[in-house]
């Protein structure tokens, strides 16, 4: 009898472990992620879009960057990861303009983490086109082109679109992630950055299987 009870206890224990959030099988809406009342259109109709909303001035985003970099490398071809800067004020808009300027000049992959490091390790600020031009010039960018691009119509349009998306996502802090324009995930709900990524993995798989 004792042996039977021990086996049953072990089976119950194993079942409980298999259903823990860490294994991605028991994530619940309203507890581990939120469903947006009004979905935001995605920019990639043929892929599952995962948006990372970040801010260069955010210390949590700085710590999160190495994690999401490694995570992105593991994604399948049907997943599109999109970075979107948050803008709570005029200072953050300058950082967003710098982000899109670096992207337009095909330097973003090279400088993205370097901007985080400069802000959080070296105390640098990027609140003007001139400061961005000084920085990007060290990576081979033409200074005058940076200044022209920074305030161009194209960058202004991207900044406005990004701001509209973030407002639509109902973002309350950074970093946060939005899956398929419908599901918002934050570390405040999941408890940690690594768990946030596991929830995103779960949602992506559910969408891939047609369960969401």
pLDDT at 25: 59
Indicate whether 140 belongs to any domain. Answer: yes
Indicate whether 86 belongs to any domain. Answer: yes
Indicate whether 75 belongs to any domain. Answer: yes
pLDDT at 3: 46
Mean pLDDT of all residues in the chain?
90
For 198, other C-beta atoms within 10 Å of its C-beta total 19
Indicate whether 18 belongs to any domain. Answer: no
Region 22-40 average pLDDT: 85
Share of the chain above pLDDT 90, in %: 82
* Each residue's pLDDT tens digit, 10-19: 343 333 333 4
Lowest average pLDDT, out of 15-29, 57-71, 168-182, goes to 15-29
pLDDT at 160: 97
pLDDT at 23: 52
Model confidence at 26, pLDDT cuts 50, 70, 90, reads confident
* Structural domain of 167: 32-208
How many domains does the chain divide into? 1
Lowest average pLDDT, out of 14-23, 76-85, 119-128, 197-206, goes to 14-23
Indicate whether 59 belongs to any domain. Answer: yes
Model confidence at 212, pLDDT cuts 50, 70, 90, reads confident
Examine the pLDDT at 24 and tell me if it is beyond 90: no
pLDDT at 8: 40
Indicate whether 13 belongs to any domain. Answer: no
Is residue 65 within 8 A of residue 113, CB to CB? The reply is: yes
Region 97-114 average pLDDT: 97
Indicate whether 3 belongs to any domain. Answer: no
Examine the pLDDT at 29 and tell me if it is beyond 90: yes
Region 115-136 average pLDDT: 97
* Each residue's pLDDT tens digit, 134-190: 999 999 999 999 999 999 999 999 999 999 999 999 998 999 999 999 999 999 999
Looking only at the bridges linking them, the beta strands covering 176-179 and 183-186 are antiparallel
Indicate whether 147 belongs to any domain. Answer: yes
- Both tokens assigned to 107: 């330097």
Region 189-211 average pLDDT: 95
Model confidence at 45, pLDDT cuts 50, 70, 90, reads confident
User: Residue 133 maps to which CATH number?
Assistant: 3.40.30.10
């Amino acid at each position: 009898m004792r042996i039977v009870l021990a086996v049953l206890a072990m089976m119950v224990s194993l079942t409980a472990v298999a259903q823990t959030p860490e294994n991605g099988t028991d994530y619940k809406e309203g507890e581990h992620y939120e469903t947006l009342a009004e979905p935001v259109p995605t920019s990639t109709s043929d892929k599952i879009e995962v948006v990372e909303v970040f801010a260069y001035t955010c210390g949590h985003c700085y710590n999160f960057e190495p994690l999401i970099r490694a995570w992105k490398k593991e994604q399948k071809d049907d997943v599109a990861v999109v970075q979107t800067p948050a803008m709570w004020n005029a200072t953050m808009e300058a950082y967003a303009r710098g982000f899109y300027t670096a992207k337009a000049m095909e330097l973003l992959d090279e400088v993205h983490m370097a901007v985080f490091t400069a802000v959080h390790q070296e105390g640098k600020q990027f609140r003007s086109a001139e400061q961005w031009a000084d920085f990007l010039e060290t990576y081979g960018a033409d200074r005058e082109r940076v200044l022209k691009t920074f305030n161009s119509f194209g960058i202004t349009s991207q900044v406005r679109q990004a701001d509209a998306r973030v407002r639509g996502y109902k973002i309350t802090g950074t970093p946060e992630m939005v899956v398929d324009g419908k599901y918002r995930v934050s570390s405040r709900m999941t408890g940690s950055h690594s768990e946030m990524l596991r929830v995103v993995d779960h949602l992506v798989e559910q969408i891939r299987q047609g369960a969401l």
